[in-house]
Amino acid sequence: MAIEDAPLDDKAKRMRDLLSSFYAPDPSVAGGSLPKGASLDAINTDSFDADQYMNLLVQRANLEGLLQKHVEMAAEIKNLDTDLQMLVYENYNKFISATDAIKRMKSNIVGMEANMEQLLDKIMSVQSRSDGVNNSLFGKREHIEKLHRTRNLLRKVQLFFCGKEQFIYDLPARLGKCIKAEAYADAVRFYTGAMPIFKAYGESSFQDCKRASEEAVMTITKNLQGKLFSDSESIQTRAEAAVLLKQLDFPVDGLKVRLFEKLEQSLGGLQVKIGDVADALEESNDEQENDLQLGFAVAHDASVHEFVETVRAYRVIFPDSESQLIKLSEDLITKHFLITEQHMKKRVSTATFLRVLRIIWDDVLLIDHVLPEALLHDYCFKVSQSAIKQYVSSMFSHLLDDVSGAMMKVHPQQNNVAEEQLQVALEAGKNSLLKGSMDLLLGFRQLLEDNLDLLVKLRELITDWVQAGFQQFFEALDTRFLLLSGRIKSSPQDQSLSEGLQSEKISSGLVLVLAQLCVFVEQTAIPRITEARTEIAASFSSSGARGYEHGLVFHPTEISRVFQSASEKFLHQYINMRTHRISVLLRKRFTTPNWIKHKEPREVHMFVDLFLQELEAVGSEVKQILSQGVRKHRRSESNGSTTSSLSNSLRDDKLRRSNTQRARSQLLETHLAKLFKQKVEIFTKVEFTRESVVTTIIKLGLKSLQEFVRLQTLNRSGFQQIQLDIQFLRTPLKELAEDEAAIDFLLDEVIVGASDRCLDPTPLEPPILDKLIHAKTAETKEQNSSVASPTSQ
């Protein structure tokens, strides 16, 4: 070992240093100072310092650690020696192998130089002999090749003249066969091929053949002219005839005007076929649709290809006709879209509309291929905007007609509408509006998602048109509702709708349906449409950017306010219409008899039955349309009960007094004070519930009854008749109304008003009053049971 082999003095010195470093209080005393950042791993680096490493090792490790490090380093040294020895052995073996290989190569190369020299001599000899042969045969070979080329040329000339001579002799017969078979293209090709020979030898060798061929060509020219101007021939056939005539040197420039007139007339067939495609696809069912689409596509493609080939031929025949062909192509596309717009007056599905657009776009691409100067695709973008915009507008127009049609199903039927008719009309209106709007949005989404170049470029405009369409649709729907309700007069655009309304009066049930439908629009339809429209707009991040600049954005909040206001107006209109019917009934009741000479009451007057029937009709209508609210008895909250009891006490007191002017004046003053005090409490805001609407109509009816009573002068019998009618009405009215206190108060006010207008306000005795009321009640029950029995049977 390196430590064990060291001199004794070195061992003693190292031991002394170890002991000094262990017991020394100052590390600087033992072994000196070490550089900062020294590490034991530095033994594997190029800058390894043995002394520094040993000092660091002694400073950081104890005796056992040093011994362990000694054992480890000894083992590493032994391993390194072994590896070095193996490396030396391997390199020695390779060196021996290389030496043997060099010896073998040296022995093989010996004698090769002499062989290479012999090979070089032989190659030089062969090259010299080959050059001699080439030089001796060069002149003869050139002569032989020249003679061979001359022989081949003479053979070709002989075959040509022999074949041409035979072809010229057979040409008249060939032309005759082509005329019979109407193979005019072959005939022209044969004749034009023989023209150089006729020009060179037509007056000598082939004079008879030339004359016969010219007679056949005259016949061909005449037949081609007939085909050129024949209406029964296709466009392509006429174009081919024109090309053949030009090849025969026929002056076709003089026929240019007539040919273009024929071409323009032929465009009508293409336009009619576009309309036929739209009609047939719209009327077909799903099973027939694919067959129809395939059939019309094949027929239309054939016609368009025929037109395209004609354009191609005309460009060859008339090189200066480019501007006319461009105008004809633009007219064709324009008329395609005009016919499409005419068909959109009917209901056309989005799928059918897309197919028509795709057909037109395919036509544009085909024509653009043969007439690129027309820039027909740019022209198509311009003229298609009107058709697509009209399609969007027509979809909203059809939706408006669907909703209006559902409302038009509500017809007056005598005094009221048929059972469940209003509910059916309301549900039909809701379904038409909501489902129709969703279908509309799906159709527009189909337009926006289609990859047709025409639609991709117009995507932002279509989005703007849809937004503007919804805004205009709801504005038009509000106007249409006003027209249906009779609140405004019809315009010339709504002439057909107004004719249907003029034939019969406006139904109050229709007005109620309109009111509830406006609530549905505000609370359900607009949020759903807005949500669906937002989802569609999110699919196209750049769509609709122009809408904010041009004021075309759909404003749901504004439309909601409009329909909220409309619903309240329609509800009040319904109440007014029903109240007006009751007022007419009351006017007849109180203006017909002579109340001064009225007879004693025998029974409840029949106007009470009519009044209750009107209220039953109201109840039947609101039950179909409006929801049921919470029935509120506001007797304790209202001053009606207090004033009612006060009114009853004043009435009894008045009836006990004599009919003096003082008592009459005092009663009038008290009544006026109560009227002004109770006015606000009686008429509250109308809610969209059955109870609220019925209660409001009853209150207005009783107010009208009170006013009609005040306009009459009554005798005692007339006063007693009114007392009997009002007392009978008290129970059914309180059952129908939600505010019993107000009803009691208004009924009492009618009695008080009647007593004010009575010359002798003596009421009926309670037993007589009860007897008459019980008799009327029994009669009413009997009538109801008799009506219910046939119904149950």
Distance CA 223, CA 461 (A): 54
Distance CA 579, CA 702 (A): 10
Contact in structure between 464 and 552 (CB atoms under 8 Å): yes
The structure tokens listed for 564 are 């909220």
Over residues 253-266, the mean pLDDT reads: 66
Over residues 25-29, the mean pLDDT reads: 44
Predicted structure pTM score: 0.61
Encode pLDDT of 738-776 as tens digits: 888 888 888 988 999 889 889 888 888 889 989 998 988
Confidence of residue 664 (pLDDT cuts 50, 70, 90): very low
The structure tokens listed for 773 are 């009321």
Contact in structure between 413 and 361 (CB atoms under 8 Å): no
Q: Is the pLDDT of residue 11 over 50?
A: yes
Encode pLDDT of 139-154 as tens digits: 777 888 887 777 776 6
The structure tokens listed for 244 are 């053949």
Angle at 611 between CA 572 and CA 683, to 5 degrees: 35
Count other C-beta atoms under 10 Å from residue 219's C-beta. 13
Confidence of residue 407 (pLDDT cuts 50, 70, 90): confident
Burial of 305 (0-12, 13-18, 19+ CB in 10 A): middle
Encode pLDDT of 158-173 as tens digits: 545 555 666 777 778 8
Percent of the chain at pLDDT exceeding 70: 71
